[in-house]
A = this chain, B = another copy of it.
């Protein structure tokens, strides 16, 4: 049995991420930041909070004033005022004095703690009994306790989640610098492929990859830019690739998995300006015939034509490359895999990394990963799948009950 090309190990493939530069940055309004990658460090230009705040409804005072107070032996404290929300108290509290305060209110001078209203009793207009001693800082968020002025609070490369957007608001950042979303060009190839709007004749199939890959690009934080279907014609494909590369940061070509088509794609990629074939075949299944090429500083991927193979290669191989050029800090992906138990034995060939589609089911508190059988050309296996399980290249198969990691699909 001939080996048609020299496959590259997955680890080695990922080393090539360093070849491709990060996209440019742009300024966006804070409303547009959720999900984006921060491109600048953010430094606290004020203390957060800017003043000591109460975390309870109660009475602000100096902890010393409550020294030894208990149910049996309450402290009698003089109420000298009430603190309005949003205002700086115009008075101070001395020892033996207090002021009424609400949650979020600013502590007056002289106060270092707050007694919950539940631990007090009003004696008269001017006096309360306090039934519990307070320590300094009790029920208070100190000035600068959340973030101190001058510290770096967010780093370039961080993904902006809703809480990071909130933090930008806290520091009054109306606009921030983020990485642009990379534009990912998508081309479908194959004499048998017809557009969505056409009714396929016998021998023909509709173009699926343009749509499934576009969805994956969106999920990965990129902007899909589609260039339609190109028949297996050298000149047409070369022309379309040149055009697409000018308008994209990366190019995905999905095409037939036949040896002829593959050779043909290699020929086209080799003819691109300043080009180099970097990877011709990866030791993974499905997806072995995947090609990675370079044209200038842009990457061009030759993906399998089968929709399932193309999707799995995207998830397992292409996505980390998109994240790299998106400016994202090294991924936390492995931390966010689901732990499950394998529902039955699975065989796997040594020397390659296998990706198995699984359905997840919970039973008695245990999450089971149930491998989905079916040829890789069947899209129904991806519709049924909840996730993808990886079997390492040095593993010959896994037994029922093995703890496995599953990446949600």
Where the two chains meet, the residues of A that have a C-beta atom closer than 8 Å to any C-beta of B are 1-2, 30-31, 33-35, 46, 48-51, 53, 55, 57, 84-89, 102-106, 117-118, 141, 145-147, 153-154, 160-174, 190-194, 196-216, 218-219, 232, 256-261, 305, 307, 311, 332, 334-339, 360-362, 367, 375-380, 382-383, 385-386, 408-409
Complex interface: chain B residues within 8 A of A332 (CB): 386
In Å, the complex CA distance between A53 and B376 comes to 13
Q: A102 touches which one: B46, B161, B261 (CB < 8 A)?
A: B261
In Å, the complex CA distance between A360 and B200 comes to 49
In Å, the complex CA distance between A106 and B409 comes to 31
Assess A169 versus B212: contact at CB under 8 Å? Given A204-B86, A305-B103. Answer: yes
Shortest A105–chain B CB gap in Å is 8
Assess A169 versus B367: contact at CB under 8 Å? Given A164-B383, A196-B30, A360-B335. Answer: no
Asked if B258 and A214 make an inter-chain contact with CB atoms under 8 angstroms apart, the answer reads: no
In Å, the complex CA distance between A117 and B4 comes to 12
**Best-buried of A89, A147, A204, A335 by chain B (most CB within 10 Å):** A335
In Å, the complex CA distance between A307 and B161 comes to 14
Complex interface: chain B residues within 8 A of A338 (CB): 336-339
6 extra interface residue pairs, beta carbon distance < 8 Å, beyond A87-B203, A146-B378, A163-B307: A53-B205, A145-B375, A154-B383, A166-B211, A167-B208, A169-B196
In Å, the complex CA distance between A219 and B30 comes to 15
Assess A380 versus B165: contact at CB under 8 Å? Given A257-B104, A375-B55. Answer: no
- Smallest CB gap from A139: residue in B: B375
Asked if B174 and A85 make an inter-chain contact with CB atoms under 8 angstroms apart, the answer reads: no
In Å, the complex CA distance between A170 and B173 comes to 45
Q: A258 touches which one: B103, B170, B203, B307 (CB < 8 A)?
A: B103
A-B contact pairs, 22 of them (CB 8 A): A49-B205, A50-B202, A51-B202, A55-B376, A85-B190, A86-B191, A88-B201, A88-B202, A103-B257, A103-B305, A104-B205, A146-B377, A162-B214, A162-B219, A163-B215, A163-B307, A163-B311, A166-B209, A166-B382, A167-B383, A172-B197, A335-B386
Complex interface: chain B residues within 8 A of A154 (CB): 383
Asked if B169 and A206 make an inter-chain contact with CB atoms under 8 angstroms apart, the answer reads: yes
In Å, the complex CA distance between A208 and B48 comes to 12
Shortest A141–chain B CB gap in Å is 5
- Smallest CB gap from A261: residue in B: B102
Complex interface: chain B residues within 8 A of A1 (CB): 118
Complex interface: chain B residues within 8 A of A173 (CB): 196
Complex interface: chain B residues within 8 A of A409 (CB): 161, 163
In Å, the complex CA distance between A141 and B196 comes to 21
Complex interface: chain B residues within 8 A of A57 (CB): 258-260
Asked if A31 and B172 make an inter-chain contact with CB atoms under 8 angstroms apart, the answer reads: no
Complex interface: chain B residues within 8 A of A260 (CB): 57, 102
- Smallest CB gap from A193: residue in B: B86
Shortest A262–chain B CB gap in Å is 10
In Å, the complex CA distance between A48 and B204 comes to 11
In Å, the complex CA distance between A166 and B254 comes to 14
Q: A174 touches which one: B197, B201, B210, B337 (CB < 8 A)?
A: B197
Asked if A211 and B30 make an inter-chain contact with CB atoms under 8 angstroms apart, the answer reads: yes
In Å, the complex CA distance between A53 and B203 comes to 8
Complex interface: chain B residues within 8 A of A145 (CB): 375, 378
In Å, the complex CA distance between A209 and B213 comes to 35
Shortest A170–chain B CB gap in Å is 5
Assess A190 versus B259: contact at CB under 8 Å? Given A163-B379, A203-B86. Answer: no
Complex interface: chain B residues within 8 A of A35 (CB): 218-219
Assess A190 versus B335: contact at CB under 8 Å? Given A57-B259, A163-B311, A216-B162. Answer: no
- Smallest CB gap from A361: residue in B: B335
In Å, the complex CA distance between A85 and B164 comes to 51
Asked if A191 and B84 make an inter-chain contact with CB atoms under 8 angstroms apart, the answer reads: yes
Shortest A269–chain B CB gap in Å is 19
